[in-house]
DNA sequence: GCAAGGACGTA
DNA sequence: GTACGTCCTTGCA
């Protein structure tokens, strides 16, 4: 017998990377890799003819459930790169293809393809058969037999080499320096960075082979380390004996997996047109169909498309009918099993890193080009370097570069000082400090390293460094960001490097505050003596490297790779560019408004003193409360949790309607002074003298749900609701010759709710383009939309928002100024009219209590550590927040994806429009005057399609766009 | 000089 | 009822 075992997952990835991303015509399903897979399978059966023809054959896959995250997880166990999202839907299709070609498709939960291959190989050998494993995976080389009965076949085309390359005992020896039977011993010693095998640090393939050839195996070697002459090598082996043993466990394939199909069932079957053509037709592979029709002498037209696979409207992917639910159940039932390889790897890395002591004496100060070159060379040798820029401030649009630090391995570090001044610490500063490289020369030398795609640069908060480096003409390709890794894994619980290293490494690290001082005497980093600066900066790079070694493996172990690699990491440079562009703010407009507001506020102030009968600080809620409720003795006063009188706008509004004119005066005064203090007076101070524009800073890692936040200044809360407030928006303008475009998602959160909770009535309403609040009102109160009183619609709108916020009768009553019982009735009616909402809410409550987190449709986890708090109020709060988080968060994910794709989309359309701002469901652009009409459709389409193809929403997404000279006009 | 609380701007 | 950031006052160091 001759058994041929095909490494199916290897074929898929090979097809994906080698071929264009074709899609199925009728529904744009990605199928390029399926086409490649089919062709490879067919070609293989043509190649293996005559003496090499198989009597038995099967295609083996890594196990995968139906969700893309589980797919990635399974592929990761095989140590392959993360699955790109276009590839995900193609995994199940390649299984179907295998069956269509008459081959058994084999995969097993809990086992890698390699284990199954090892098992069938052993079974075939037992009966004296010959085995060919179609794969180029070196992990399978341990199965090769010196007598030629088991060989690998590498079919991947390589230039200058024959199309088919057999790998027997000699080829294995060439690669590992030992025969197949010792391959696992060598692999256990030298490890493999890509394969998650730790190995023994400092031992490569050559050394490993030498040791195994001398001692025979790992155990003998470990028992006789005293005979090893090189002290470093001996020490490495002695301290890492356990790592070597664990590594051997990781690399050894399991030859006794409980396979379900007996060998007899793998007997080669002829291709059946009745199986093949319905598949090809459903896939719409008409060219292949025609070719095989000729070869098999069959008429492809005689069979209908397989209805299971043919194009059709996508299934809803809501919370309860999502395959993810099945995957979750599978994961839960698997609890208690031994750690998977990625989890084990992450734990091992963490332990190893924690054991490395912090030693400042190992750090270097880089003084000249030769020394800098040694660090650059080290970065090239490792393929990876942690780095950090030191600057004179926290705002990367104004701060100057002072130095750059590097670390190429945990424990080492170097600081390159470039802009330190003679440290008098006074305002005059002094000249440049001695012993620093010329800034320009050093940057020219470093530039290629940062631009090199093959060298991974690790940062903490890369967006800051990208902004600084861009201003110095340095481009960064290939990077990781610990802050974003931490955010992807744990949410916004850690902000600074100090917090991360304290938590994960148990290391405090030097404090920047001690270095710079505080208050009046605070220095900039440029004024810190180089020797002190170097300790701090090099340690920063060192800790950055260490943290990366802890955090990065967790991505795979915890299935957060897709979120990080397809959303968080690519977004950072997009935000850096938006921050760098800034937006023009017209000083004159703000100044005029400020004068107007100040006059009116002064008049109101005088009026308030008159009405109150005394002068007091209008800005003091404390004094106001005492006047209103103690001195004037007005009814309706409530106390805040600290016992102070409550004087919020709603309280004052109440008093005003009860005929207290002072209350109205205060409300109006507060509005005007708020507008002055926060906007008309504050914004001009943010105009950057270098660019003449206002540059906000976005925080990508601060919001629980996945939204961005904006600060210094916050451009996400520029007023819009009142007439006076909107005037501030007229100061945000396009420069001469340009126009602003605002594009905003219409009702995105309600649409997301309709999708994830699968509310048919809501979906239908969106499909028909109805006024959603009026439709809700009409459903609930039985009032026709035509001629509906505005109050009825207002109530329905409040309820819709209430649902998104995790409604409570208390909150709704507050919002609408009605009785709690009445609000409760509204909610009951809503639930009755829109069945599904309650199920959604119940599911989120259940999940957050059981798991401690809920998820967005893109797999972002939102953690609630207090879900089972003993405080009822806190528990209720978590319940509402856990209902809101998937809605707000999924909408946030969608716009993040839109932003990532926007620049390439604009470029592809030949537009030079620039994305400036994001306000949660709105994007602001600047575009050449006259180009608005051309670019708006591109923007709208990119935003509307942003969830695809990862998530096919079951509601339409709508985006409105407007162009005008200023933000008020465009909105 | 700093932190907490209240108030209020946005989605 | 969700999610933020900023300004101002107050109270303490």
DSSP output for A693-711: SB--EEESS--TTS--EEE
Q: pLDDT digit string (tens) for A230-259?
A: 888 888 888 888 878 888 888 889 898 888
pTM above 0.85, yes or no: no
Q: Is the CB of A649 under 7 A from strand B?
A: yes
Instruction: Give the lowest-confidence range in A233-237, A461-465, A482-486, A559-563.
Output: A233-237
Enumerate domains of chain A plus CATH numbers.
2-266 (3.40.50.1010), 356-558 (3.30.420.10), 604-692 (1.20.1060.10), 748-889 (1.10.150.20)
> What does the pLDDT average to over A261-284?
90
Encoded tokens for A467: 């902004």
> What does the pLDDT average to over A293-318?
74
**What are the E-state strand segments in A243-301?**
none
Report which of residues A336 and A192 the model is more confident about.
Answer: A192
Q: Is the CB of A709 under 7 A from strand C?
A: yes
The runs of H, that is alpha helices, within A684-789 are 723-729, 748-756, 760-767, 772-781
CA R_g for chain A:
33
The protein footprint on chain B, as nucleotides within 7 A of a CB, is 1-2, 5-11
Q: Is the CB of A815 under 7 A from strand C?
A: yes
Three-class DSSP labels, A322-338: CHHHHHHHHHHHCCCCC
Encoded tokens for A368: 């000249």
HSE-CB of A806 using CA atoms within 13 angstroms: 18
Q: pLDDT digit string (tens) for A770-807?
A: 999 999 999 999 999 999 999 999 999 999 999 999 99
Residue A162 contacts residue A172 (beta carbons within 8 Å) = no
Q: pLDDT digit string (tens) for A654-674?
A: 999 999 999 999 999 999 999
Give the percent of chain A with pLDDT over 90: 74
pLDDT at res. A783 = 96
Q: List b or e across A577-594, with b for residues whose CB sees 16 or more CB atoms inside 10 angstroms.
A: bbbbebbbbbeebbeebb
Please provide residue A435's backbone torsions phi and psi, each rounded to the nearest 5 degrees. 75, 35
The pLDDT-based confidence of A680 (bands split at 50, 70, 90) is: very high
pLDDT at res. A567 = 97
Q: pLDDT digit string (tens) for A34-85?
A: 999 998 999 888 888 888 899 999 999 987 544 333 333 333 344 444 567 7
> What does the pLDDT average to over A317-337?
47
The nucleotide closest to A708 (CA, C1' atoms): C4
Beta strands A922-928; A732-733: pairing state: unpaired
> What does the pLDDT average to over A414-423?
93
Q: Is the CB of A826 under 7 A from strand C?
A: no
Q: pLDDT digit string (tens) for A338-366?
A: 677 788 889 989 999 999 999 999 999 99
Secondary structure of residue A494 in the 3-state scheme: coil
Residue A607 contacts residue A663 (beta carbons within 8 Å) = no
Sign of CA dihedral A948, A949, A955, A956: positive
pLDDT at res. A429 = 55
pLDDT at res. A196 = 63
> What does the pLDDT average to over A289-305?
86
Report which of residues A609 and A325 the model is more confident about.
Answer: A609
Protein CA A939 to sugar C1' B7 (Å): 37
> What does the pLDDT average to over A634-641?
92
d(CA A244, CA A240): 6
Protein CA A618 to sugar C1' C11 (Å): 19
**What residues contact residue A685 under an 8 Å CB cut-off, 6+ apart?**
none
Q: Is the CB of A703 under 7 A from strand C?
A: yes
> What does the pLDDT average to over A220-227?
90
| Residue A525: pLDDT over 60 | yes
The nucleotide closest to A882 (CA, C1' atoms): C2
Residue A755 contacts residue A761 (beta carbons within 8 Å) = no
The nucleotide closest to A619 (CA, C1' atoms): C8
d(CA A213, CA A957): 65
pLDDT at res. A406 = 98
pLDDT at res. A904 = 97
The nucleotide closest to A671 (CA, C1' atoms): B8
Protein CA A510 to sugar C1' C12 (Å): 28
**What residues contact residue A305 under an 8 Å CB cut-off, 6+ apart?**
A278, A281, A282
Other CB atoms within 10 Å distance of the CB of residue A193? 12
pLDDT at res. A199 = 83
d(CA A281, CA A303): 8
pLDDT at res. A71 = 35
Q: pLDDT digit string (tens) for A159-213?
A: 777 888 899 999 999 889 899 999 999 998 988 766 667 788 888 888 999 899 9
pLDDT at res. A940 = 98
Q: Tell me what the pLDDT averaged over chain A comes to.
A: 91
Protein CA A570 to sugar C1' C12 (Å): 45
The protein footprint on chain C, as nucleotides within 7 A of a CB, is 1-11
Give me the residues paired with residue A458 across strands. Answer: A386, A480
HSE-CB of A44 using CA atoms within 13 angstroms: 28
**Residue in A31, A8, A19 with CA at minimum distance from that of residue A286:** A31
| Residue A932: pLDDT over 90 | yes
Q: Is the CB of A143 under 7 A from strand C?
A: no
pLDDT at res. A77 = 42
Alpha-carbon distances, residue A115 vs A103, A110, A132, A252, A424 (angstroms):
19, 10, 15, 9, 67
Q: Is the CB of A856 under 7 A from strand C?
A: no
**What residues contact residue A936 under an 8 Å CB cut-off, 6+ apart?**
A741, A743, A961, A963
Give the percent of chain A with pLDDT over 70: 94
Residue A173 contacts residue A138 (beta carbons within 8 Å) = no
d(CA A13, CA A25): 22
The pLDDT-based confidence of A220 (bands split at 50, 70, 90) is: very high
Instruction: Give the lowest-confidence range in A182-196, A492-506, A524-538.
Output: A182-196
Q: pLDDT digit string (tens) for A808-843?
A: 999 999 999 999 999 999 999 999 999 999 999 999
**Residue in A857, A877, A855 with CA at minimum distance from that of residue A867:** A877
The nucleotide closest to A815 (CA, C1' atoms): C1
pLDDT at res. A297 = 85
Query: For the residues of A343-406, what is the DSSP string, one character each?
Result: HHHHHHHHHHHHTSPP-GGG-EE--SHHHHHHHHHHHHHHTEEEEEEEES-S-TTTPPEEEEEE
| Residue A90: pLDDT over 90 | no
Instruction: Give the lowest-confidence range in A261-270, A496-505, A586-595, A750-759.
Output: A261-270
The pLDDT-based confidence of A423 (bands split at 50, 70, 90) is: low
The nucleotide closest to A798 (CA, C1' atoms): C1
> Which helix (DSSP H) or strand (DSSP E) does residue A274 occupy?
helix A273-283
- Interaxial angle between packed helices A341-354 and A497-505, expressed in degrees from 0 to 180 and rounded to the nearest 10: 100
| Residue A314: pLDDT over 80 | no
Residues of A 608-627 whose CB lies less than 7 Å from any atom of strand C: 617, 619-620, 622-623
| Residue A424: pLDDT over 80 | no
d(CA A764, CA A833): 14
pLDDT at res. A194 = 61
Residue A561 contacts residue A555 (beta carbons within 8 Å) = yes
Q: Is the CB of A922 under 7 A from strand B?
A: yes
Which protein residue's Cα is closest to nucleotide B1 at C1'?
A519
What distance, in Å, lies between the first and last C-alpha atoms of chain A? 73
Protein CA A531 to sugar C1' B4 (Å): 39
Which protein residue's Cα is closest to nucleotide B9 at C1'?
A717
**Residue in A744, A741, A743 with CA at minimum distance from that of residue A967:** A741
**What are the E-state strand segments in A849-928?**
853-855, 861-863, 914-918, 922-928
Instruction: Give the lowest-confidence range in A361-370, A506-515, A748-757, A890-899.
Output: A506-515
> What does the pLDDT average to over A522-532?
95
**What residues contact residue A624 under an 8 Å CB cut-off, 6+ apart?**
A616, A618, A645, A647, A666
Protein CA A572 to sugar C1' C8 (Å): 34
**What residues contact residue A98 under an 8 Å CB cut-off, 6+ apart?**
A8, A41, A59, A104, A105
pLDDT at res. A319 = 41
């Amino acid at each position: 017998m001759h058994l041929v075992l095909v490494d199916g997952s290897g074929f898929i990835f090979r097809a994906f990377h080698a071929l264009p991303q074709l899609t199925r015509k009728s529904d744009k399903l990605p199928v390029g890799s399926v086409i490649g897979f089919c062709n490879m399978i067919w070609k293989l059966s043509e190649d293996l003819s005559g003496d090499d023809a198989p009597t038995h054959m099967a295609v083996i896959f890594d196990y995968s459930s139906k969700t893309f995250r589980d797919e990635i997880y399974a592929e990761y166990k095989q140590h392959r790169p993360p699955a790109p999202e276009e590839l995900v839907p193609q995994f199940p299709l390649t299984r179907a293809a295998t069956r269509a070609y008459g081959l058994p498709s084999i995969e097993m939960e809990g086992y890698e393809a390699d284990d199954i291959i090892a098992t069938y190989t052993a079974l075939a050998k037992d009966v004296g058969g010959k085995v060919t494993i179609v794969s180029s995976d070196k992990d399978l080389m341990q199965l090769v037999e010196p007598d030629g009965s088991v060989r690998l076949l590498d079919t991947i085309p390589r230039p200058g080499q024959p199309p088919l390359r057999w790998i027997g005992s000699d080829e294995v020896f060439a690669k590992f320096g030992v025969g197949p039977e010792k391959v696992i011993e060598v692999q256990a010693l030298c490890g493999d960075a890509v394969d998650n095998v730790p190995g023994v640090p400092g031992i490569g393939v050559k050394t490993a082979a030498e040791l195994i050839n001398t001692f025979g195996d790992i155990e003998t070697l470990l028992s006789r380390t005293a005979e090893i002459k090189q002290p470093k090598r001996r020490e490495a082996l002695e301290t890492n004996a356990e790592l070597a043993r664990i590594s051997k466990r990781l690399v050894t394939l399991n030859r006794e997996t409980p396979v379900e199909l007996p060998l007899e069932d793998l007997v080669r079957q002829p291709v059946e047109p009745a199986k093949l053509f319905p598949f090809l037709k459903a896939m719409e592979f008409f060219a292949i169909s025609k070719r095989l029709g000729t070869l098999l002498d069959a008429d492809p037209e005689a069979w209908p498309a397989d209805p299971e696979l043919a194009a059709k409207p996508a299934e809803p992917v809501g919370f309860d009918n999502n395959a993810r639910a099945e995957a979750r159940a599978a994961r839960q039932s698997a609890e208690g099993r031994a750690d998977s390889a990625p989890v084990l790897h992450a734990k091992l890395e963490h332990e190893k890193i924690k054991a490395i002591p912090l030693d400042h004496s190992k750090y270097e100060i880089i003084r000249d080009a030769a020394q800098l070159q040694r660090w650059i060379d080290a970065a090239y040798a490792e393929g990876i370097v942690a780095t950090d820029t030191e600057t004179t401030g926290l705002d990367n649009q104004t701060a100057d570069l002072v130095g750059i630090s590097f670390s190429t391995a945990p424990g080492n570090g170097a600081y390159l000082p470039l802009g330190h001044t003679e440290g008098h610490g006074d305002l005059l500063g002094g000249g440049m400090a001695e012993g620093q490289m010329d800034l320009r020369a050093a940057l020219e030398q470093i530039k290629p390293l940062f631009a090199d795609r093959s060298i991974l640069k690790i940062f903490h908060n890369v967006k800051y460094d990208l902004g600084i480096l861009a201003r110095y003409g340095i481009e960064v390709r290939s990077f990781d960001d610990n802050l974003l890794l931490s955010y992807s894994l744990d949410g916004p619980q850690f902000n600074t490097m100090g917090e991360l290293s304290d938590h994960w490494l148990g290391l405090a690290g030097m404090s920047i505050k001690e270095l710079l001082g505080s208050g009046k005497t605070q220095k900039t980093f440029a004024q810190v003596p180089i020797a002190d600066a170097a300790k701090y900066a090099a340690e920063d790079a060192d800790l950055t490297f260490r943290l990366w070694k802890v955090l990065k493996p967790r991505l795979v172990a915890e299935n957060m790779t897709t979120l990080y690699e397809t959303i968080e990491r690519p977004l950072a440079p997009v935000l850096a560019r938006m921050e760098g562009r800034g937006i023009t703010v017209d000083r004159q407009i703000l100044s005029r408004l400020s004068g107007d507001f100040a006059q009116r506020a002064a008049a109101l102030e005088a009026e308030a003193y008159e009405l109150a009968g005394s002068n007091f600080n209008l800005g003091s809620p404390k004094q106001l409360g005492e006047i209103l409720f103690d001195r004037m003795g007005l009814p309706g006063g409530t106390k805040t949790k600290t016992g102070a009188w409550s004087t919020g706008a709603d309280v004052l509004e109440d008093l005003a309607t009860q005929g207290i004119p002072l209350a109205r005066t205060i409300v109006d005064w507060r509005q005007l002074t708020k507008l002055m203090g926060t906007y008309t007076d504050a914004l001009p101070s943010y105009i950057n003298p270098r660019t003449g524009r206002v540059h906000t800073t976005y925080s990508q890692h601060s919001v629980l749900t996945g939204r961005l936040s904006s600060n210094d200044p916050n451009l996400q809360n520029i007023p819009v609701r009142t007439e006076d407030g909107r005037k501030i928006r007229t100061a945000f303008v396009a420069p001469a010759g340009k126009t602003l475009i605002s594009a905003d998602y219409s009702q995105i959160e309600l649409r997301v709710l309709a999708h994830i909770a699968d509310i048919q009535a809501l979906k239908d309403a969106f499909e028909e383009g109805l006024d959603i609040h009026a439709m809700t009102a009409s459903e609930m109160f039985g009032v026709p939309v035509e001629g509906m009183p505005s109050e009825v619609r207002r109530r329905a709108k409040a309820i819709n928002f209430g649902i998104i916020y995790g409604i409570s009768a208390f909150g709704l009553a507050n919002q609408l100024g009605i009785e709690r019982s009445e609000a409760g009735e509204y909610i009951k009616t809503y639930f009755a009219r829109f069945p599904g909402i309650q199920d959604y809410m119940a599911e989120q409550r259940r999940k957050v209590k059981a798991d401690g987190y809920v998820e967005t449709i893109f797999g972002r986890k939102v953690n609630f550590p207090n879900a089972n708090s003993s405080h009822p109020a806190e528990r209720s709060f978590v319940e509402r927040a856990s209902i809101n988080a998937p809605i707000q968060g999924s909408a946030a994910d969608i716009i993040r994806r839109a932003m990532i794709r926007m620049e390439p989309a604009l470029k592809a359309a030949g537009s030079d429009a620039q994305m400036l701002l994001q306000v949660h469901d709105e994007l602001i652009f600047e575009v050449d005057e006259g180009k608005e009409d051309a670019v708006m459709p591109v923007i709208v389409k990119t935003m509307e399609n942003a969830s695809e193809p990862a998530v096919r929403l079951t509601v339409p997404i709508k985006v409105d766009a407007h162009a005008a000279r200023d933000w008020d006009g465009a909105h």
